């Protein structure tokens, strides 16, 4: 009989090597550019409005166009990747969001901008969950959350980089230059992805790929590994057939899937609500615009640090012990924003804390989804959770705007906003009660 090689034990029994770091780095580069292009609309919108003579209400659809594309891209490309593989989908999605970001830079009308931003959003929405899935599938279980969360800090860094690039380029070269950079860089990354990015080794095994494709990848993970002649490779998880979305609700996964959706929905609602309204609130309540911008930046800085530091406790103590505490502290920090109005120092401190817990909590949720779902449906599970979360991301700023238009004060608004991380806390705590074992 052919010798059986357990790939799960081989990966989990070794330290993370250079090849696995390369996979994480390439995925980080992809989500870095994803973050740049996703957030770039916030930086170029005022210049677009001036050039095309758009009113502030007319900018609303432009803000939403890429988010709607992200929603459909996450829902569509996740199941596709569970059928054809992560590598091909990541490369195609990078081409799509790169090419149509360049196209958006050439647009001369609002209609053209809406179409190009929507299509770019499809690529942006598809690249993200597959980057998470591919990184998770090359990481050993004991370090999976850490590796996924560090990789995904690329998104926040890309968003911050977009702000720095926009501030440098727009005064001299205009808003189109921001999108030329945001489109050309992904297209330059594609050849590197094509030659250096491997297919998921776990995906190859659960889809019964030929051993000739699997052995060389194991050699790159462990140079001492010698593929036995005619070896049969296996992983310690199920093989699934049929529609990947349906498997999200089978074998006791339905409750966890719904809890993840609640977690992603409420937390992305919090993220987009806070990052859109904190600077405006700070300025409206008497602080200088420069101070208001710094306060808003503290939210992103806290998020990057949270993402870098939380992975290790999750791997050591488990996601169901750490993530509920993270969201519980987020409730406190968001509520404190509402009572810190007018004090720059207090707002900086509590905004940093909110970013640490909420942005760090979102990256923790990404890692939890990658851990919760097996390879056969991992891209689908992560993609659909992110897709549902995008609905919250769209609604968060809109709900806040409606409440403020109804004369709700900022203090009450942020106290009410603390309900979102409270719902996320309950969701992950409930999930832990069912799945901790």
Per-residue model confidence as pLDDT tens for the chain (437 residues): 568 888 888 888 888 989 999 999 999 999 999 989 888 887 788 888 888 888 766 777 887 888 889 999 999 999 999 999 999 999 999 999 999 999 999 999 999 999 999 999 999 999 999 999 999 999 998 899 999 999 999 988 888 888 788 888 888 999 999 999 999 999 999 999 999 999 999 999 988 888 888 888 989 998 888 877 777 888 877 666 666 788 899 889 999 999 999 999 999 999 988 887 888 788 788 888 678 878 888 888 898 899 999 999 999 999 999 999 999 999 999 999 988 887 889 999 999 999 999 999 999 999 999 999 998 899 999 999 999 998 998 888 888 888 888 888 888 999 999 999 999 999 999 999 998 86
Q: At 213, list the tokens.
A: 């494709």
Given this structure, which CATH class describes domain 4-206?
A: mainly alpha
Q: What is the spatial distance between Cα 260 and Cα 330, in angstroms, rounded to a whole number?
A: 17
The CATH fold of domain 244-435:
Growth Hormone; Chain: A; (1.20.1250)
410-417 vs 254-284: helix crossing angle, rounded to 10: 160
What pTM, to 2 d.p., does this model score?
0.87
**Cα–Cα distances in angstroms (integers) from residue 351 to residues 291, 295, 356, 399, in the given order:** 13, 7, 9, 20
Domain ranges of the chain: 4-206, 244-435
Domains 4-206 and 244-435 share a fold: yes
Largest CA distance in the chain: 77
């Amino acid at each position: 009989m052919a010798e059986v090689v357990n790939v799960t034990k081989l990966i989990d029994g070794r330290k993370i090597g250079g090849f696995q770091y390369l996979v994480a780095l390439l995925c980080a580069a992809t989500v870095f550019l994803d973050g740049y292009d996703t957030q770039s609309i916030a930086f170029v919108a005022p210049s677009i409005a001036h050039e095309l003579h758009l009113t502030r209400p007319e900018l609303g659809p432009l803000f939403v166009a890429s988010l709607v594309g992200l929603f459909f891209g996450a829902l569509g490309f996740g199941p596709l990747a569970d059928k054809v593989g992560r590598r091909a989908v990541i490369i195609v999605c990078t081409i799509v969001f790169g090419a149509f970001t360049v196209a958006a830079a050439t647009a001369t009308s609002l209609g053209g901008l809406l179409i190009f931003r929507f299509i770019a959003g499809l690529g942006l929405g598809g690249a993200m969950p597959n980057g998470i899935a591919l990184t998770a599938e090359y990481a050993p279980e004991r370090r999976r959350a850490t590796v996924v969360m560090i990789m995904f800090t690329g998104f926040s860094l890309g968003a911050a980089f977009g702000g720095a690039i926009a501030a440098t380029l727009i005064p001299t070269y205009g808003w189109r230059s921001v999108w030329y950079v945001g489109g050309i860089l992904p297209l330059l990354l594609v050849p590197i992805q094509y030659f250096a990015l491997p297919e998921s080794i776990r995906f190859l095994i659960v889809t019964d790929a030929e051993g000739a494709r699997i052995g060389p990848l194991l050699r790159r993970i462990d140079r001492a590994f010698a593929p036995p002649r005619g070896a049969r490779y296996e992983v310690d998880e199920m093989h699934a057939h049929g529609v990947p979305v349906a498997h999200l609700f089978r074998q006791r996964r339905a409750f966890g899937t719904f809890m993840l959706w609640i977690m992603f929905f409420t937390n992305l609602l919090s993220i987009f609500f806070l990052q859109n309204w904190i600077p405006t609130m700070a300025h409206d309540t008497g602080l200088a615009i420069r101070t208001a911008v710094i306060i808003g930046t503290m939210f992103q800085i806290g998020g990057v640090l949270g993402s870098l530091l939380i992975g290790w406790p999750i791997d050591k103590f488990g996601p169901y012990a750490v993530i509920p505490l993270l969201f519980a502290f987020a409730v406190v920090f968001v509520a404190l924003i509402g009572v810190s109005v007018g004090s720059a120092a207090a707002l900086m401190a509590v905004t940093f804390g909110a970013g640490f817990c909420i942005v760090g909590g979102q990256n923790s949720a990404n890692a939890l989804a990658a851990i919760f779902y097996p390879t056969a449906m991992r891209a689908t599970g992560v993609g659909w959770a992110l897709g549902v979360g995008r609905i919250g991301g769209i609604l968060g700023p809109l709900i806040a705007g409606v409440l403020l238009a109804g004369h709700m004060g900022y203090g009450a608004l942020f106290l009410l906003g603390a309900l979102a991380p409270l719902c996320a806390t309950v969701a992950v705590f409930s999930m832990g009660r069912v799945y901790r074992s």
